């Protein structure tokens, strides 16, 4: 039962939930959480393929780079959210619509 499909299914479910989170939340931090879920599910895929498919260790290395990118992304995103909050006293993304029309 602990086979490639199990991991792919878990990964697919979490990926879907991540997309859903991004669309559903109005809170910018919530959207960030959705992004993290997506990145994690992708990582799980890479690592699962590294084990079950003949690609050597490259899957794990890609996963490491994704984790590092996620860390930078989270830091930058939080900094943006903080400065947004200071400017507007809100982090509701639906209220940030200067770019419309």
Partner 1 sequence: MIQIALFIWLLPLAAFVINIFIGKRLPRKGDWVSIAAIGASLVLSSILLFRVITGYNPDFSLHASLHWINLGGFKLDMGFYIDNLAVIMVTMVSLVSFLIHVYSIGYMDGDPLYNRFYAYLSLFSFSMLGLVLWDNLFGIYMMWELVGICSYLLIGFYFTKDSAANAGKKAFIVNRIGDFGFLIGLLVVFNFLGTFNLIDIQQDIGRGLLSGGWLTAAGILLFAGAVGKSAQFPLHVWLPDAMEGPTPVSALIHAATMVAAGVYLMARLSFMLSFDAMMVVAFIGGFTALFAATIAITQNDIKRVLAYSTISQLGYMIMAMGVGAYTAGFFHLITHAMFKAGLFLGSGSVIHAVSHSMKKIGMEGDPNDIRNMGGFKNKMPITHWTFVIYALAISGIPFFSGFLSKDAILGGTLAFAMSQSNPVYYLLPIFGFVAAIITAFYMFRLIIKTFYGKPQLKKLYEHVHESPLTMTVPMMTLAFLCLYFIYTLPSLGPVGAENGWLMHLIQKPFSAVAVQLGRPVYGITPQAEHFAHVNGLIISIVFALTGIVLAFAFYFWKTINVEKFTEKIKPLYTLSLNKYYFDEIYGATFVKGLLVWNQILAWFDQNVIDGLVNLAGRVMRVFSVFDGLFDQYVVDGLVNAVADITLGFGRGIRKIQTGQIQNYILGALLGMVLIIILTMI
Partner 2 sequence: MEPNEILFLFIAVATVVSAAIVAFSSKIIHSAFALLASFMGFAALYVYLSAGFLAVTQILIYVGGILILILFGVMMTHGIYDTAKKTAHNALSVSLLGGLAIAAVLLLIITRSPWAPILHKPFQPTTQLIGAAILTNYLLPFEIISVLLLGALIGAVYLARAEDKQK
What single DSSP character describes residue 94?
G
Any idea of the CA torsion for 23, 99, 70, 4, to the nearest 10 degrees?
40
Stretch that binds partner 1, among 43-51, 58-66, 78-86, 92-100 (CB under 8 A): 92-100
Question: Does the protein bind partner 2 through residue 86 (CB under 8 A)?
Answer: yes
Q: Which of residues 2-61 bind partner 2 (CB under 8 A)?
A: 2-4, 6-8, 10, 12-21, 23-30, 32-34, 36-37, 40, 43-44, 47-48, 50-54, 57-58, 60-61
In the complex, the smallest distance separating the C-beta of residue 100 from partner 1, rounded to whole angstroms, is 3
Q: Are 30 and 94 in contact (CB under 8 A)?
A: no
What single DSSP character describes residue 95?
G
Rounded distance between C-alpha atoms, residue 70 and residue 62, angstroms: 12
Q: Are 19 and 34 in contact (CB under 8 A)?
A: yes
Residues that bind partner 2 (CB under 8 A): 1-4, 6-8, 10, 12-21, 23-30, 32-34, 36-37, 40, 43-44, 47-48, 50-54, 57-58, 60-61, 63-65, 67-76, 78-83, 85-86, 91-92, 94
């Amino acid at each position: 039962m602990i086979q490639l499909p199990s991991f792919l299914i878990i990964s697919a479910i979490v990926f879907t939930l991540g997309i859903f989170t991004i669309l559903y939340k109005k809170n910018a931090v919530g959207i960030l959480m959705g992004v993290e879920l997506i990145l994690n599910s992708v990582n799980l895929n890479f690592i699962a393929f590294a084990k079950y498919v003949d690609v050597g260790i490259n899957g794990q290395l890609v996963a490491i780079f994704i984790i590092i990118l996620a860390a930078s992304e989270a830091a930058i995103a939080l900094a943006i959210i903080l400065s947004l909050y200071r400017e507007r006293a809100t982090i509701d993304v639906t209220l940030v619509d200067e770019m419309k029309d």
